[in-house]
Amino acid sequence: SATELVSVYATVQDRERRLVPDLRQEDFIVSDNGKEQPITFFSNEVSPFTVIILLDRSGSMVEHQPVVRDAASAFVRQMLPEDQARVGNFGNRIWFNPQEFSSNRQELLSVLRAPAGSAGASPVWLSLDQSLNLLSGLEGRRVVLMLTDGHDAPARNHMRTSFKDVSERVKRAGVMIYAIGFASMEVRGGRPRLEPPDD
């Protein structure tokens, strides 16, 4: 028989949504299909992460680009020295900068200040799938932070990737996905209408 070691990361809040930082191993129970599993290693230290900050540069997000840039920049400024990041962008094409994961905040902020370009298509699931490729094989906490309206509309030349396929892959990979959803403004019948982020 074989034993598989699985990393489980947790953030605990009290009823007032304040962080609870001083928990011990005996405060946790981990179960799998109702069967309690042993906790082999426990730490309540802050652990560094490797993150892809994935930005939606599609046509439906044009009005939000200043907020997206400012939010991503604020996130980079709050990173700890051991944290690493790359910035992903998607629209008519999908690209990632810098070439390697970096802890250099100034380098990452410079990437975010560069003209975004793109617009048009919105390959949400394909860009998430490519982000998983870049995080594959890395150790520690791996995260994708997406800023998007969530409307998947790939271009004709994009590979088709479904939410179901990406969702299953995320579960197998153990990558944490955080999405910040933006509403988009559409004009229908000459009247503007606010479209909520796609569920």
From residue 187, alpha-carbon distances to 58, 102, 123, 181, 190 in Å are 16, 40, 22, 20, 6
Peptide bond into 192 cis (omega under 30): no
Question: Would the pTM count as exceeding 0.85?
Answer: no
Residue with tokens 């290693």: 41
Residue 21 has pLDDT above 90, yes or no: no
Q: Is the pLDDT of residue 33 over 60?
A: yes
Output DSSP code: residue 47: -
Nearest to 175 by CA among 127, 125, 139: 139
- pLDDT confidence band for 46 (50 / 70 / 90): confident
Q: What CA–CA distance (Å, rounded) separates 153 from 24? A: 45
Of 44-48, 56-60, 144-148, 188-192, least confident by mean pLDDT is 188-192
pLDDT per position as a tens digit, 92-139: 889 999 999 999 999 999 999 988 776 778 899 999 999 999 999 898
* Dihedral angle of Cα 123, 124, 125, 128, to the nearest 10 degrees: 110
End-to-end CA distance of the chain: 41
Residue 3 has pLDDT above 70, yes or no: no
Residue whose structure tokens are 């560094």: 48
Q: Give the DSSP letter of residue 198.
A: P
Structure tokens at 140: 């520690």
8 A C-beta contact, residue 56 and residue 90? yes
Q: Determine contact, residues 151/120, Cβ cutoff 8 Å.
A: no
Contacts of 37 (CB under 8 A, 6+ apart): 30, 31
